[in-house]
Chain A
Amino acid sequence: DGGITQSPKYLFRKEGQNVTLSCEQNLNHDAMYWYRQDPGQGLRLIYYSQIVNDFQKGDIAEGYSVSREKKESFPLTVTSAQKNPTAFYLCASRLLSGELFFGEGSRLTVL
């Protein structure tokens, strides 16, 4: 079945470490997105990519980086520059009809 796979589902990190969250899709979608979710704040856009080898910053890109070398993959790196990285991270791709299709999310906890 087609879908989006995010891994790992749970991740613990020590302060000062970079971590990379994986997002893979087999839906053949061009556009992909990373959102961050915190309690009571909804979803906030980190980065998005409309096509391979191109991506744009969202509203809260500071402390994060992405790459889009393949259509299927859009990994997110949370760097040590992100001051408050503990959150639930959601990856999504976009259907031609406009809506987003989401992965199951990755929960990052900084110890």
Chain B
Amino acid sequence: AQSVTQLGSHVSVSEGALVLLRCNYSSSVPPYLFWYVQYPNQGLQLLLKYTSAATLVKGINGFEAEFKKSETSFHLTKPSAHMSDAAEYFCAVSDGMGSGNTPLVFGKGTRLSVIA
């Protein structure tokens, strides 16, 4: 069974500081990995995804994530936080496409606060 662990339910950073949101996964097969962002009372929006190509993945809004198989990690980073980055962030894992439409398994989320 697949699983995702997001370390830290709440992360607070100053505006302009580095953002680091941690995600570790467990999967018995090569995974697909995703980061989503959610603003209050809205659906989830895809930030970026890893699908077995380049291990460093760049997404929208200046975010990027690096797939590290040896560490089973897929941490999300942004060099300089902006006030508009305040939201909830979810990491998710699924089997590679060879398993068809296997549902995504989500972590419990990390709420990011940005302090002016």
Q: How large, as a class, is the contact surface on chain B?
A: 20 to 34
Is A104 an interface position by the 8 A CB rule? yes
How distant is B48 from chain A, measured CB to nearest CB, in Å? Answer: 10
Tell whether, in the assembled complex, residue A94 and residue B44 are in contact, meaning their CB atoms are under 8 Å apart: no
CB distance from A10 to the nearest CB of B (A): 9
B97 adjacent to A99 (CB under 8 Å): no
* A interface SS class: strand
Interface string of B82-116 (1 = CB under 8 A from A): 00000000100010010011011111110000000
- CB-CB contacts below 8 Å: A32-83 with B: 33, 35, 40-45, 48, 50, 58
Residue B63 is within 8 A (CB to CB) of chain A in the complex: no
B46 contact from A88, A99, A104, A107, Cβ within 8 A? A99
Which among A31, A33, A42, A90 is the interface contact of B108 at CB below 8 angstroms? Answer: A42
Q: Which residue of A lies closest to B6 (CB)?
A: A42
Query: Interface residues, chain B, CB within 8 Å of chain A?
Result: 9, 32, 34, 36, 41-46, 49, 51, 90, 94, 97, 100-101, 103-109
- 15 residue pairs from A and B, CB less than 8 Å apart: A4-B43, A31-B101, A40-B108, A41-B108, A42-B108, A45-B103, A45-B105, A88-B41, A90-B43, A97-B51, A98-B34, A98-B51, A99-B46, A99-B49, A107-B41
